[in-house]
Copies of this chain bind each other. A is one copy, B any other.
Amino acid sequence: MYIDVKPLYTQIRSELLKRIEKLRREPKLVVVTYKPDSSTISYLRSQEKSAKRFGLDYEIIEGKTPQHVIKLLRSFSDDEEIDGIFVTHPLPDVDEMEVFENLDPRKDIEGRHPYNLGMLAYGEEFFAPCTAEAVIKILESYTEIIGKNVVIVGRSNTVGKPLSLMLLRRDRSATVTVCHTKTKNLSEFTKKADIVVAAAGRPELITKEMVKENAVVIDVGINVTENGIVGDVAKEVSDIAKVTPVPGGVGKITTVLLMEHLVKAAERINF
């Protein structure tokens, strides 16, 4: 069985449109990039379309040198006309810590800044990483979380780690295990899970034998293969469990949440 995220998407989208109407001016998102590769460029193109669809102001600026990138970040952080800053990553030759030192966490709509990550431990999710937040929204709209055994496969800073902090929050109170490439007997963990979050970036890593019947499986993977885009979860898993589709699952919610974050940032600056 597949989990249909469209009702959730529609709900987030319509609430967001109402909030945008109330703003005094168009929220502005600036993307800072440096020597973007082809996949970054195609990602930004789809992001731009999505921003325009919501009537949001969107601009891509390419730094000339690593130093210039840092200078741009500092000036955009101070610029009251700019509500959100999106930094493509990894940026070649640019130190990630220096990026954070020059990026105002109040404009970090991706939720990658250490300050925003640390706030998750305190249960404050003003800017959580959009993908982790998408997983939470899907779970909260679909199933009970308290006391559930959740196994996350993958320990990234955009999904695995922040998601584990978010699932431990008292109003969610899942028991959380984070597995990764060094985990021995991965299937022993996943087989016992009520909820599996596959965020390893490995095509069809999670197979039918690894999942308990009727489990909820959130597929965060977006892997480009010879057979097109596939998730981290094998198709057959949907025979016995409830799985989010790829594409059209977590990614769909993630994109709209990035826009929601921009609006949130604009609401804070404008009012």
A interface residue numbers (CB < 8 A to B) = 96-97, 113-122, 124, 146-147, 149, 155, 157, 160-162, 164-165, 168, 173-184, 189
A182 to chain B: closest residue by CB: B173
Smallest CB separation, A127 vs chain B (Å): 11
Known: A117-B117, A118-B115, A168-B161. A180 touches B175 (CB 8 A): yes
Q: Could you write out 12 A-B pairs with CB less than 8 Å apart?
A: A97-B124, A113-B118, A114-B115, A114-B121, A117-B118, A117-B121, A118-B120, A121-B157, A147-B184, A161-B165, A161-B168, A173-B181
Name the B residues within 8 Å of A146 (CB-CB). 182
- Max chain B C-beta neighbours (<10 A), residue from A97, A155, A160: A155
A179 touches B183 (CB 8 A): no
- Measured in the bound complex, the distance between the Cα atoms of B124 and A242 in whole Å is 37
A121:B175 contact, CB within 8 angstroms: no
What chain B residues lie within 8 Å of A115 (beta carbons)?
114-115, 118
Smallest Cβ-Cβ distance to A149: which chain B residue: B184
Selected contact of A175 from candidates B122, B175, B184, CB within 8 Å: B184
* Bound-complex Cα distance A200 to B127 (A): 29
> Which B residues are in CB contact (< 8 Å) with A161?
121, 165, 168
Assuming A97-B122, A122-B96, is B114 touching A147 (CB within 8 A)? no
Instruction: Point out the residue from B116, B164, B180 that lies within 8 Å of A173, measured CB to CB.
Output: B180
Which B residues are CB-close (under 8 A) to A117? 114, 117-118, 121
A122 touches B157 (CB 8 A): yes
Interface residue from B118, B120, B174, B181 paired with A116 (Cβ < 8 Å): B118
